[in-house]
Copies of this chain bind each other. A is one copy, B any other.
Amino acid sequence: MGSAGDMVDITRDNFEDMFPLVEEALKDCNFFSLDCEMTGLFVDGARDDYLDEMCDRYAKLRESSQSYIINQFGLSCFKLISGPSTDVSGFEAKTFNFYIFPEPLTDNAQARKFLSDSGSLSFLAHQKFDFNKWIYKGIPFMPTHECHRRRRELTRYYTGELRTNSINPTKPEDQEFVRLLIEQVQRWLSGAEPSLVLFDMNSYRRLLAYQELEKPQFGKDDYPGFFVKKIDVGNGYSQLQLIRGTQEEVIKMQQEDVQQRMHDLDKAIGFTRVIEAMKACRRPAVGHNCMFDIAYVLAACVDPKLPPSWPEYKQLVEEWFPGGIFDTKLIARQVPEIFKRGTSLGEVFKGVTEDDEVRSKMDALFAKCHVDGQPQLSSPHVRHAPGFEKYALVEAGGAAHEAGYDSFMTGTVFAHLIHIIRAKDFASRAAIMMPEAVDQALVGGGPLLPAQLADLDLNSHSDSARLAGGDSSLIDAEVLLQPVNRFKNCLNIMRTDMPYAAVCGLDPPLSRPNVFHVSGLPSGGTRADEIITLFQAEGLGRPRVTLSAGKAYGPPSTGALVEVDAELASDVLHKLMGVPKPVEEGKEWNVAPIQASAEGQGSRGSSLRVIPWEQWSKERVAAVATATQQQEELRPSKRSRIESSKGTPITDQLAAAGAAAGVELIEKLQGERRSAEVRAQQKSGGCLVM
């Protein structure tokens, strides 16, 4: 890679110089693609379960995003270009590869602690990630709410805002404080000591002190005769120091102080400015399988504690990605006939750029799109903008998992997918340029299914000529993105039967007619294979079991979700309803004698409880709502209630304790319970016999 190419690598050293280029590229682009490398994905005991709902997935995503950090961020800004008159049009990409590290601030701000998964770091090492560049040269970042707080603080101290919002102390002790302060300062001013350190005070009194020190009450007409310097003394405490000086000297000290603090703050905000620029440009964002990327970026640059609930998180995503988000993995999965080798980023990119089989299928699809014998579509050309050639000579996939290159690959794939989806719609006689139909489809909250597309009538093609390469001057980005608009804000999720995650609007409806929730299981010794045996014994096939379902979200549960073959679903309830719970003898559930099955018949109290998934899911939502309400009622100010809440079941007590110590506690508790149960399960060598 040449030295010219190195300009796309952005570190602490060149960030200030490069940022205007990043901002300009974002303003200029039609869409931008992004990719993150991270120090890890899953915290211990929080693997994704197949039968999770979105709230479960989000709870795990949230925990991951506040534990691990991003170490590299790739941004590729794609701009539509008109080729030479005989050529087809295409895109020009400006790609930036940011190294990011939470360098501690020079002032007393605490250093960030973050988790790493040794597997993830080894994976990055395998991809030749430069850890030295990351830690030595990574750009710092700061959550926006912290930026705002610090900016406000700077403003408050130096713009005289305090004089307009003056405080009037009413309590006698505060009035006494002010009296003593003025006395102390006057005594000092009448002496010769060059500076005075004021006694310790809390933040309210510091505000009072600032106000008093700015008043023209110390013998000078329009300046107090000294400069007030705030000194950080560590551990979040600070002292005020007064430095004697002429009006000129005081003004100079003030200016220098403001400049220094503004400069330090700008430097510390660092990478967060990129996210602010991404937000400000209002262009569509594109990622490949980007649920984690989006969450990690928001946790790093907006708030390390993402919102507690999935609906609140959606609002945050909508606020920070006003142009919407497209997920190329989700879109590529809609055309399995083209991407037969799977939809990993490397595979899809290689497919659209150099694989003969994929390209000939694409060409065949494009060839079907002709109006009045004129071809309407072809593969878009993508080129690196001048000065951004770092990746130009890299063979397809060669620099995979460098975030910058991954973001470039993602954008390139997106450019092709737009045409592929358009061509497929055209070929299947779907409506091209029929906004009503698209809108109608979007009411459902998600992508059109192929069947729905087929139902749409072929409509006017008046706009389609504008899309062809023949007359590139007519090309319009809005129109170009329209075929994929139905995938906007639909992100791919792995290991699930949920079609996608809607980061905007309603979640897609979820139907699980062949999933059941089994409860009444022993609390600490159930293994998936025991439940499998139970179902097999009743002739219900070999089901898929998710033991930990519902643990990440809502109250802890000792039940399991069980998925049976579709044709057996109707048998489950009548076969298992009333099946007795095996006698629990200590923890050895497996030693329950076989005849217990017969004995327990009809005794509801000792039975397993088997209900359809839909019912369980509703009960769970209601339970969480109740728990949330209880937490609301048990805010810290009402803590005394907790201490006297004897006689309450332990789960409620724990919920109360959670409310007192912050919402994290209840999550921690559940996490601990979960891992304790997992340990218990691993230790248990039993086997369920009915």
Contact = CB atoms under 8 A, between A and B. Distances in A.
Interface of A: 40, 43-44, 47, 101-104, 110-122, 124-125, 130-132, 134-136, 171-173, 200-205, 235-236, 523-524, 527, 529, 532, 586-587, 590-591, 594, 636-637, 639, 642-643, 645-650, 653-654, 656-657, 660-662, 664-665, 668-669, 672-673, 675-676, 679-680, 682, 684-687, 689
What 5 A-B pairs come out closest when comparing CB atoms? A111-B119, A131-B131, A204-B685, A661-B676, A102-B118
Given A114-B118, A636-B680, 17 more contacts: A44-B110, A103-B118, A112-B117, A115-B115, A122-B135, A125-B136, A131-B132, A201-B529, A202-B685, A204-B687, A205-B687, A587-B637, A645-B650, A654-B657, A660-B676, A661-B672, A661-B676
A388 to B, nearest CB: 26
B118 A111 contact: yes
Contact of A200 (B115, B173, B529): B529
Most buried by B among A116, A529, A587, A649: A116
A636 B135 CA distance: 44
A521 to B, nearest CB: 14
B676 A669 contact: no
A626 B602 CA distance: 45
A209 to B, nearest CB: 13
A202 B118 contact: no
B668 A662 contact: no
A317 to B, nearest CB: 26
A643 B122 CA distance: 44
Contacts of A636: 524, 587, 676, 680
B643 A650 contact: yes
B113 A114 contact: no
A203 B685 contact: yes
B647 A647 contact: yes
Contacts of A135: 121-122, 124-125, 131
A202 B529 CA distance: 8
B202 A527 contact: yes
Nearest to A131: B131
Nearest to A114: B116
B44 A113 contact: yes
Copies of the polypeptide in the assembly: 2
A279 to B, nearest CB: 25
A672 B664 CA distance: 8
A401 to B, nearest CB: 14
Contacts of A669: 657, 661, 665, 668-669
A679 B117 CA distance: 29
B122 A117 contact: no
A121 B440 CA distance: 53
A513 to B, nearest CB: 27
Given A40-B113, A118-B112, A673 B646 contact: no
A119 B136 contact: no
Given A113-B44, A236-B682, A122 B134 contact: no
Contacts of A120: 111
A44 B675 CA distance: 22
A425 to B, nearest CB: 40
Contacts of A647: 646-647
A591 B171 CA distance: 8
Given A125-B135, A643-B650, A202 B672 contact: no
Nearest to A527: B202
A83 B115 CA distance: 51
A134 B136 contact: no
Contacts of A102: 118
B104 A118 contact: yes
A647 B636 CA distance: 22
Contacts of A664: 672
A524 B102 CA distance: 31
Contacts of A529: 200-202
Contacts of A662: 672, 675-676, 679
A115 to B, nearest CB: 6
Given A43-B113, A202-B527, A646-B647, A118 B101 contact: yes
Most buried by B among A122, A532, A642: A122
B672 A668 contact: yes
B687 A173 contact: yes
Contact of A649 (B44, B202, B646, B689): B646
Contacts of A642: 650
19 contacts: A111-B120, A111-B122, A113-B117, A114-B115, A125-B132, A125-B135, A125-B136, A173-B590, A200-B529, A201-B687, A202-B527, A203-B685, A587-B636, A643-B650, A653-B653, A657-B669, A661-B673, A664-B672, A669-B669
A118 B125 contact: no
Nearest to A665: B672
Contacts of A44: 110, 113
Contacts of A637: 586-587
A529 to B, nearest CB: 5
A588 B645 CA distance: 23
Contact of A173 (B673, B685, B689): B689
Nearest to A173: B689
A653 B655 CA distance: 12
A411 to B, nearest CB: 29
A243 to B, nearest CB: 24
A463 B118 CA distance: 54
Nearest to A683: B203
A643 B131 CA distance: 50
